[in-house]
Amino acid sequence: MITKLLIIGAGGHGKVSADCADVMGCFSQISFMDGTFPQQTSVSIWPIVADGRDVSDFIAPDTRFFVAIGHNSTRQRIMQQMASIGATFATLVHPTAVVSQRATVGAGTLVCANAVVNIASQIGQGCIINTGASVDHDCVLGDYVHIAPGSRLAGSIQVGAGSFIGIGSAIIPGVKIGKNSILGAGSTLLRDLGDASVAVGSPAKEKIKQQ
């Protein structure tokens, strides 16, 4: 069934998500919910139809939702709240992305233009594999992970739920990253990183753990 798509969040990430959904060509209607409504009623070519507080009014068999919030923990909170009232989420994969038929991608995840997800990799729900990022074979990404543009994950890497891999980063094979951790932009990670850690540099060095 061709479905309607309702995107939560009309910022930059929302526009990227809508553009991806548009070129996929499988939605009969794309619209937004955003806190700027009713002062703002459109973003690019798409309408903003509500402020996001009344999601339950839009739940229907032919409607899929997508939470286009870049901040990991905020995206997680909103998706979990929506799931609890019966919302069903779309998975968006840009036509120029290469996703192995033997990889898995969770509901509510966005795989952006020119990204790669290789064989036997597992991508959790609510993740972002951003523009031009690559996730090589046998990687496991937990829920609500964000791999920023141009990042490179070699084979058999594990990234814990809620972690953020900064733009242009590189991670060598077999590294394990804990939950809710951050790898800074342009960093090269050569060893494991624990939960709630911050590492930056090339090679990356761990900073004070987050609270």
Whole-angstrom distance, CA of residue 56 vs CA of residue 40 = 21
Q: Which SS3 state, helix, strand or coil, does residue 120 take?
A: coil
Spatial CB neighbours of 94, under 8 Å, sequence gap ≥ 6: 20, 23, 24, 111, 112, 113, 114, 115
3-90 folds as Rossmann fold (3.40.50)
Which of the 8 DSSP states describes residue 58? G
Amino acid at 94: H
What percent of the chain stands above pLDDT 90? Answer: 94
Please indicate whether residue 94 is annotated as part of the active site: no
Mean pLDDT of 135-150: 98
Segment 2-40, tens digit of pLDDT: 699 999 999 999 999 999 999 999 999 999 999 999 999
Band of residue 52 on the pLDDT scale cut at 50, 70, 90? confident
Q: In the structure, what pLDDT confidence band is assigned to residue 208 with cuts at 50, 70 and 90?
A: low
Cα three-residue angle 183-185-189, rounded to 5 degrees: 45
What is residue 140's predicted lDDT score, i.e. its pLDDT? 98
pLDDT at 209: 63
- Tens of pLDDT, residues 156-180: 999 999 999 999 999 999 999 999 9
Beta bridge partners of 80: none
- The predicted pLDDT at position 1 comes to 58
The DSSP output letter for 97 is: S
Phi–psi pair at 146, nearest 5 degrees? -125, 120
The pair of three-digit structure tokens given for residue 27, joined into one six-digit string: 């939605």
Between CA 171 and CA 192 the distance in angstroms is 10
- Give me the torsion for CA of 163, 165, 170, 174, rounded to 10°: 10
Contacting residues for 80 by C-beta, under 8 A, at least 6 apart:
none
Structural domain 93-200, CATH architecture = 3 Solenoid (2.160)
In the set 13, 71, 94, 137, the catalytic residue is 137
Phi-psi region for residue 201, left (φ > 0), alpha (ψ -120 to 50) or beta?
A: left
pLDDT at res. 53: 84
- Tokens matching residue 211: 């609270």
Q: Is the pLDDT score of 57 beyond 80?
A: yes
211 has pLDDT over 60:
no
The one-character DSSP state at 89 is B
For 183, the token pair is 């790898």
Is residue 144 scored above 90 in pLDDT? yes
Threshold 0.75, pTM exceeds: yes
Q: Where are the domains of the chain?
A: 3-90, 93-200
pLDDT of 207 > 90? The answer is: no
